[in-house]
């Protein structure tokens, strides 16, 4: 495969690689099924960084020109039909500038891979399917239409179905958050909450502070908004607020994004001292905090800590939670609790984005929560998830020789693992996928300069039996890709520092 | 970010929630035509026999079963040959418009639109801060010479946005010839067309007209459809179909904004279409709306002596009224609200303002006798305003 690149060109090198390979495919020089050289080899041959080739291959995949399968490399799909009109559409010149920033398809790929029946997935934060309260919900839908009728499938206000807002306000009161129904904005899942907050607060070039590692979907939303994202390391007490202090002074961020409780992906709980310190800093520098709290209901041991929102005396915290984790994600309902002036702007943005969230989902949920089924359900899943967590931790310790490091989280969905030195992460991912097990590579959770040695394992979705099988497969793959060393289990209930 | 403009759709949704109001303001289907009972039954069964899928995450692109049904429907009903992987399920066509902005529109880019055009589209795209350039439009659609002139002269044109079937707000339907010429011109200039067609199936006579996308052999048209007007607006289900690599951009944008459209509503809609006759359901809707349009047209005829002009749409949900020059529809609305009658002042539908003597009337949501009564009240207010104006 002949590729030439021009280092002096203003065109980024990865685009040049894309253009060259695209040309070879279009001209038929690379036939259907042709395997592109492995990323590393091409990178070496061209004398460029490996991530450049990684990005180029991704782009080719996004263009539908090649298909990449973990373990089987990247193959040419087909020569596309010639464009019928002389001019056609110069799509690339028409796309927004920020579109170039938005093409990390890793979540979509993981969702797709996780759907396969022969694969045990620890990659996605999914609730356990067998615990879903299907009978109760089925009952409800019938009653719902009898009592409510057509409004359940008609429009509802952008801010949300009023009784649901009321119910949510009461629900968060139990978490120490004082809120009126009018402070609650119903959104189409947390992802929409992140997107709306970014739309309302962030102009291109603004700075957002996040934890490092952090939730992958948040990075995605913030990148598209054109924000400059700065990561603050997390240790066993949560975000390093001492480091935050200096960043606030230097960078004057627009927003601080945090998951203080059972953080995704690290599982860490921010200590009460850090929570207070964070609030104090935010108030001193007048920076709003977006507190993302999807997991706090899923507490397996230890005393609960108050949320930032509950501690907030200055109305600086935008609180967000969702029914996707403690209940189920398919209804796509999350919510924000925010000051009225912020709510108004978020609602206007939401109206442009999707008018309102599904009425049917909202009616159904409102009833489910109000009649106490949500509370019952949480107790049920907590018992099951605690067992699964213990099962996974035990399975991971079966082979001491591998040298994995992890801490057992006290709540939430994830075990965050550190691989021993010398494990090639993409080789591991490929090897594991070939054995029928997938996980989330840790690098996806970092805003910049990701370390290569960490990964996230979800323990809520797979059954205990599947956890045993899946972790055995996982350990096999690690063993194949590793230099042997002793297994270490960290002391205490929190995850090791990730810097 | 700049303050978003206070929205008229929002006010509309508020007003129409009061039962005593005779509302010509919404874009709502008639609520008695919603298959709520069938939906309840389907939802119950769905949760019992496919509940896990209905409540878990789904792929961003949408669930395969629904994409297949939509692709098939596009072929059978509109002659658009599409594979399921060329269909993206979205959370209502409002989301499709927003994603369009996310994929294409940077600040100061130009968006060409009809005059007047759909308010929801202006709202969705305005967040991306484009310049809206109105293209003069007559009863048959955008005037081709005017469109061509703008394609030649306007800087940074990113999109042409059109609603060719029974447009909201005007009720106008583009002629076949204009559709063909739009596709040809867009290909020649290399500018994508966003063809938004929420009302295409609601024709009152004859057959549906071929969409602009059916004349497109340069992959230049992005076609948007929805179930909001033919099944349920509250379920928030729509779709985008476009050339694959372009559609991929929409998928990635959607992933960042809401991961995916609710699985439950997707499966519910799919079941409805598999187990019930959607076409028969739509035929029922058409019959009701046709009668309501007739009632509104008849009532409006009595206002002609007051200088009122209006369209007689061959489908859809709306008709368009022009008042004598000098009468401001926003002021008229305030007077009408005192009599519990609501409509949308037409000025809101012009991307760059003006046209304050126009208004949009929805005829689908109210039964005939309330339509007659509402227009009578409108006439009362109008004659007193006309009298005061001398």
The CB-side HSE value for A472 (13 A sphere, CA atoms) comes to 6
The predicted-structure confidence for B205-215, as pLDDT tens digits, reads as follows 988 999 999 99
Banded pLDDT at A105 (limits 50, 70, 90): low
- What tens digit of pLDDT does each residue of A153-199 get? 888 999 999 999 999 999 999 889 999 999 999 999 999 999 999 99
Q: Which helix (H) or strand (E) holds A107?
A: helix A106-115
Question: How close A423 gets to chain B, by Cα (Å)?
Answer: 30
* Yes or no, beta carbons of A111 and B253 under 8 Å apart: no
Tokens 């590579």 belong to A441
Of the candidates A91, A108, A142, which has its C-beta nearest B251's C-beta? A108
Q: Lowest-pLDDT range, A39-53, A215-229, B359-373?
A: A39-53
Confidence of residue A491 (pLDDT cuts 50, 70, 90): very low
**What per-residue confidence (pLDDT) applies to A488?**
42
pLDDT tens figures, B301-344:
999 999 999 999 999 999 999 999 989 999 999 899 999 999 99
pLDDT of residue A82: 45
What was the pLDDT predicted at B176? 96
Report the C-alpha dihedral over residues A7, A10, A12, A15, rounded to 10 degrees. -100
Question: What are the chain A neighbours of B246 within 8 Å (beta carbons)?
Answer: 91
Q: What is the pLDDT of residue A149?
A: 83
Q: Are the Cβ atoms of A195 and B31 closer than 8 angstroms? A: no
| Residue to test with chain A: of B18, B254, B258, most A Cβ within 10 A | B258
Amino acid A98: pLDDT: 66
A5 pLDDT higher than 70? yes
Residues in A closer than 8 angstroms to B257, CB to CB, are: 191-192, 195, 221, 353
Take residue A167 and report the two structure tokens written for it.
């119910």
Instruction: Output phi, psi for A313, to 5 deg.
Output: -105, -5
Interatomic CA distance for residues A146 and A152, integer angstroms: 10
Element (H, E) at A129: none
pLDDT value at B298 more than 60: yes
CA distance B209 to B315: 12
Measured between CA atoms, the residue of chain A closest to residue B46 is: A138
Closest chain B C-alpha to A403 CA, distance in angstroms: 34
Structure tokens, A185? 């904005």
pLDDT the model gives residue A70 = 67
Q: Which two tokens stand for residue B387?
A: 């009298």
Residue % of chain A over a pLDDT of 70 = 90
Q: Are strands B193-196 and B22-23 parallel, antiparallel or unpaired?
A: unpaired
- Residue B180 and residue B296 in contact, taking contact as beta carbons nearer than 8 Å: no
Contact B57 A103 (CB under 8 A): no
Specify the pLDDT at position B336: 93
Q: Which residue, among A89, A333, A364, would best test binding to B if mutated, counting the most B CBs under 10 Å from its CB?
A: A89
Minimal Cβ distance to A137: which of B47, B105, B244: B47
Cβ-based contacts of A225 with chain B (< 8 Å): none
Q: Which of 154-213 (A) contact B at CB < 8 A? A: 154-158, 188-189, 191-192, 195, 199-203
In A, minimum Cα distance to B158 occurs at: A94
Neighbours of B154 (CB within 10 A): 14
What residues of chain B, 337 to 356, have a C-beta less than 8 Å from chain A? none
- Residue of B105, B127, B257 lying closest to A191 (CB–CB): B257
* The three-state (H, E, C) secondary structure of A180-197, written as one string: CHHHEEEECCHHHHHHHH
The alpha-helical segments, DSSP class H, found in A116-183 are 134-147, 162-173
More confident: B252 or A379: A379
Angle at A431 between CA A426 and CA A434, to 5 degrees: 125
Share of chain B above pLDDT 70, in %: 95
Residue A87 and residue B189: Cβ atoms within 8 Å? Answer: yes
CB atoms A154 and B232 under 8 Å? yes
Residues of B in contact with A115 (CB under 8 A): 59
Of A246, A250, A281, which Cα lies nearest the Cα of A258?
A281
pLDDT digits (tens, 9 = 90+) for A282-329: 999 999 999 999 999 999 999 999 999 999 999 999 999 999 999 988
Distance CA B16, CA B21 (A): 7
Tell me how many helices (H) and strands (E) chain B has.
12, 15
* Minimal-distance CA residue of chain A relative to B253: A102
- Residues in chain A within 8 Å Cβ distance of B217: 84-85
């Amino acid at each position: 495969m002949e590729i030439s690149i021009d280092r002096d060109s203003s065109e980024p090198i990865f685009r040049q690689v894309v253009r060259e390979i695209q040309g070879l495919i279009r001209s038929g020089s690379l036939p259907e099924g042709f395997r592109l050289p492995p990323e590393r080899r091409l990178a070496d041959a061209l004398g460029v960084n490996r991530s450049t080739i990684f990005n180029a291959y991704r782009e080719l995949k996004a263009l539908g020109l090649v298909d990449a399968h973990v373990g089987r490399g990247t193959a040419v799909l087909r020569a596309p039909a010639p464009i019928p009109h002389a001019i056609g559409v110069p799509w690339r010149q028409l796309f927004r500038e920020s579109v170039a920033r938005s093409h990390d398809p890793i979540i979509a790929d993981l969702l797709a891979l996780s759907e396969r029946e022969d694969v045990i997935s620890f990659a996605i934060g999914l609730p356990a399917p067998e615990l879903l309260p299907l009978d109760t919900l089925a009952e409800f839908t019938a009653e719902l239409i009898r009592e409510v009728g057509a409004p359940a499938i008609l429009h509802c206000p952008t801010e949300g179905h009023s009784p649901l807002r009321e119910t949510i306000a009461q629900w968060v009161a139990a978490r120490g958050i004082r809120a009126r129904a009018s402070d609650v904005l119903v959104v189409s899942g947390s992802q929409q909450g992140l997107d709306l907050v970014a739309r309302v607060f962030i102009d291109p070039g603004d700075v957002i502070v996040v934890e490092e590692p952090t939730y992958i979907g948040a990075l995605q939303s913030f990148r598209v908004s054109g924000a400059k994202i700065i990561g603050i390391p997390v240790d066993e007490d949560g975000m390093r607020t001492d480091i935050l202090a200096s960043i606030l002074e230097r960078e004057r961020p627009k927003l601080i994004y945090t998951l203080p409780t059972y953080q995704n992906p690290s599982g860490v709980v921010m200590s009460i001292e850090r929570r207070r310190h964070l609030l104090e800093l935010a108030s001193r520098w007048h920076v709003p905090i977006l507190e993302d709290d999807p997991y706090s209901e899923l507490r397996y041991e230890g005393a609960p800590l108050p949320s930032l929102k509950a501690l907030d005396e200055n109305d600086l915290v935008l609180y967000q939670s969702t029914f996707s984790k403690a209940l189920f994600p398919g209804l796509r309902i999350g919510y924000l609790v925010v000051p009225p002036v912020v709510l108004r702007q978020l609602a206007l943005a939401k109206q442009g984005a999707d008018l309102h969230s599904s009425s049917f989902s909202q009616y159904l949920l409102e009833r489910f929560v109000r009649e106490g089924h949500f509370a019952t359900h949480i107790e049920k899943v907590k018992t099951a998830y605690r067992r699964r967590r213990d099962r996974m931790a035990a399975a991971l310790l079966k082979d001491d020789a591998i040298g994995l490091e992890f801490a057992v989280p006290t709540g939430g969905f994830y075990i965050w693992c550190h691989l021993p030195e010398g494990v090639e992460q993409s080789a591991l991912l490929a090897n594991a996928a070939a054995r029928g097990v997938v996980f989330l590579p840790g690098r996806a959770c970092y805003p910049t300069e990701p370390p290569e040695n960490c990964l996230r394992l979800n323990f809520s979705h797979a059954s205990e039996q599947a956890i045993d099988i899946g972790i055995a497969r996982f350990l096999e793959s690690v063993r194949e890709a590793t230099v042997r060393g002793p297994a270490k289990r960290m002391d205490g209930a929190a995850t090791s520092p990730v810097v | 970010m700049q303050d978003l403009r206070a929205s008229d759709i929002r006010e509309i949704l508020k007003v129409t929630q009061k039962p005593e109001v005779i509302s010509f303001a919404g874009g709502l289907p008639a609520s008695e035509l919603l298959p709520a009972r069938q939906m309840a039954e389907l939802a119950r069964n769905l949760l019992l026999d496919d509940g896990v899928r209905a409540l878990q995450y789904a792929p961003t692109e949408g669930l395969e079963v629904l994409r297949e049904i939509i692709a098939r429907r596009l072929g059978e009903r509109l002659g658009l040959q599409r594979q399921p992987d060329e269909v993206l399920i979205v959370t209502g066509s409002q989301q499709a418009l927003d994603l369009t902005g996310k994929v294409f529109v940077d600040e100061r880019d130009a968006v060409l639109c009809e005059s007047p055009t759909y308010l929801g589209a202006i709202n969705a795209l305005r967040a991306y801060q484009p310049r809206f350039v109105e293209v003069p439009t007559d009863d048959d659609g955008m005037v081709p010479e005017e469109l061509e002139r703008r394609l030649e002269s306007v800087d940074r044109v990113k999109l042409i946005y059109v609603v060719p079937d029974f447009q909201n707000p005007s009720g106008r339907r583009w002629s076949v010839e204009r559709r063909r010429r739009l596709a040809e011109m867009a290909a020649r200039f290399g500018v994508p067309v966003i063809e938004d067609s929420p009302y295409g199936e609601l024709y009152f006579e004859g057959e549906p007209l071929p969409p602009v996308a059916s004349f497109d052999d340069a992959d230049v048209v992005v076609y948007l459809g929805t179930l909001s007007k033919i099944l349920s607006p509250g379920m928030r289900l729509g779709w985008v179909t476009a050339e694959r690599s372009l559609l991929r951009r929409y998928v990635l944008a959607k992933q960042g904004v809401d991961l995916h459209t609710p699985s439950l509503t997707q499966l519910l809609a799919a079941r409805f279409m598999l187990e019930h006759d959607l076409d028969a359901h739509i035929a029922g809707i058409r019959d009701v709306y046709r009668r309501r349009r007739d009632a509104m047209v008849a009532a409006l005829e009595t206002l002609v002596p007051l200088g009122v002009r209006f369209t007689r749409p061959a489908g859809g949900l709306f008709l368009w009224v022009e008042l004598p020059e000098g009468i401001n529809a926003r002021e008229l609305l305030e007077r009408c609200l005192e009599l519990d009658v609501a409509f949308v002042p037409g000025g809101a539908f012009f991307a760059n303002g003006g046209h304050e003597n126009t208004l949009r009337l929805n005829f689908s949501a109210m039964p005939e006798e309330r339509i007659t009564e509402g227009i009578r009240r409108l006439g009362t207010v109008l004659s007193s305003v006309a009298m005061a104006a001398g």
